[in-house]
Amino acid sequence: MSIFRTMMTGVAAAAMFAGGAQAADVRIAMVVKALGNGFFEAAGKGAEEAAAELGDVEIIYVGPTAPTAEGQIEMINSLIAQQVDGIVISANDQDALVPALKKAMQRGIKVVSFDSGVAKDGRNLHLAPSSDALIGQTIIKLAADHLPDGGKVAVLSGTSTATNQNSWIAEMNKVMGDYPNIEVVATVYGDDLSDKSYREAQGLMQSYPDLDAIIAPTSVGVVAAAQAVADAGKIGEINVTGLGLPSEMAGAIDSGASKSFAIWNPIDLGYSATMLVHELIEGAEAAPGAEIQMGRMGAITLDDNNEAAMSEPFTYDASNIDEFKSVF
Amino acid sequence: MIVTRFLASREAILLGALVALLALIAIRFPAFVAPANLLRVFNDTSLLIILTLGQMVVILTRCIDLSVAANLALTGMACALLNVAMPGVPVVVIVAFAVALGAFLGAINGVLVWKLDIPPIVVTLGTMTIYRGTIFLMSGGTWVNSHEMTVAFRALPRATFLGVSMLTWIAVVVIALVALVLTRTPLGRAFYAVGGNPNAAVYTGIDVGRTQFWAFTLAGALAGLAGYLWIARYAVAYVDIASGFELDVVAACVIGGIAISGGIGSVGGAVLGALFLGVIKNALPVVDISPFWQLAISGAAIVIAVALNTRANRTRGRVILKSAEHVT
Task: For residues B292 and B307, give the distance between their C-alpha atoms in angstroms, rounded to a whole number.
Answer: 24
Report which of residues A179 and A160 the model is more confident about. Answer: A179
Contacts of A191 (CB under 8 A, 6+ apart): A158, A159, A197
Residue range A85-95, pLDDT digits in tens: 999 998 888 88
For residues A214 and A153, what is the distance between their CA atoms, to the nearest angstrom? 6
Instruction: Note whether residue B145 is domain-resident.
Output: yes
CATH class of the domain comprising A132-263:
alpha beta
Instruction: Dump pLDDT digits (tens) for A222-268.
Output: 999 999 999 888 898 999 999 888 888 888 898 889 999 998 888 89
Which residues on A lie below 8 Å from B31 (Cβ)?
206
Instruction: Compare all CA atoms of chain A with the CA of B165 and give the residue at the minimum distance.
Output: A231
Instruction: Give me the number of domains chain B comprises.
Output: 1
Q: How far apart are the C-alpha atoms of B146 and B141, rounded to whole Å?
A: 16
> What residues make up the domain containing B223?
2-314
- Nearest of B218, B267, B241, B148 to residue A249 by alpha carbon: B148
Tell me the pLDDT tens digit for each residue of A113-132.
Answer: 988 888 888 999 999 888 88
Residue B127: which residues within 8 A CB-CB, separation 6 or more? Answer: B67, B70, B105, B108, B109, B112
ipTM above 0.85, yes or no: no
C-alpha to C-alpha distance for B67 and B302, rounded to whole angstroms: 21
Burial of residue A121 (number of CB atoms within 10 Å: 0-12, 13-18, 19+) = exposed
Longest dimension (CA), chain B: 83
Would you call A200 and B238 a contact, using CB atoms and an 8 Å cutoff? no
Residue A298 has pLDDT above 60, yes or no: yes
> How many CB atoms are located within 10 Å of the residue A282 CB?
11
**B308 located within any domain:** yes
**Per-residue tens of pLDDT for chain B, all 328 residues:** 566 666 667 788 888 888 988 998 888 888 888 888 899 899 999 999 999 999 999 999 999 999 999 999 999 999 999 998 888 888 899 999 999 999 999 999 999 999 998 899 999 999 999 998 898 888 877 788 888 888 888 888 888 888 888 999 999 999 999 999 999 999 999 999 998 888 888 899 899 999 999 999 999 999 999 999 999 999 888 888 888 888 889 989 988 888 888 888 899 999 999 998 899 888 888 887 776 777 787 788 778 777 766 666 555 566 666 665 555 5
Return the pLDDT at B310: 66
Q: How far is CA B30 from the centre of its chain?
A: 29
Q: How far is CA A267 from CA A92, A123, A244, A295, B286, in A?
A: 20, 21, 16, 13, 41
Q: Does domain A2-129+266-311 have CATH number 3.40.50.2300?
A: yes
pLDDT greater than 60 at residue A6: no
Cβ B142–A6 below 8 Å, yes or no?
Answer: yes
**Chain B residues within an 8 Å CB radius of A325:** 147
Within chain A, all domains assigned CATH 3.40.50.2300 are found at 2-129+266-311, 132-263
What CATH number did the domain enclosing B102 receive?
Answer: 1.10.3470
Measured distance CA(B292)–CA(B287) in Å, rounded: 14
In a domain, B276, yes or no: yes
Q: Is residue B319 part of a domain?
A: no
Q: Is B28 on the interface with A (CB under 8 A)?
A: no
CA–CA separation, B1 vs B250, rounded Å? 33
Closest-approach residue (CA) in chain B for A254: B147
The CA dihedral of A88, A90, A96, A99, to the nearest 10 degrees, is 10
A250: nearest CB among B145, B242, B243: B145
A222 within 8 A of A244, measured Cβ to Cβ: yes
Contacts of B242 in chain A (CB under 8 A): 195
Task: Say how far apart CA A208 and CA A42 lie, in whole Å.
Answer: 40
pLDDT-above-70 percentage for chain A: 92
B324 within a domain of the structure (yes/no):
no
CB A226 within 8 A of CB A249: yes
Give me the count of residues in chain A.
Answer: 328
Q: Which has more pLDDT, A105 or B285?
A: A105
Q: Which of B135, B286, B287 best tests the A interface by mutation, with the highest count of A CBs <10 A? A: B286
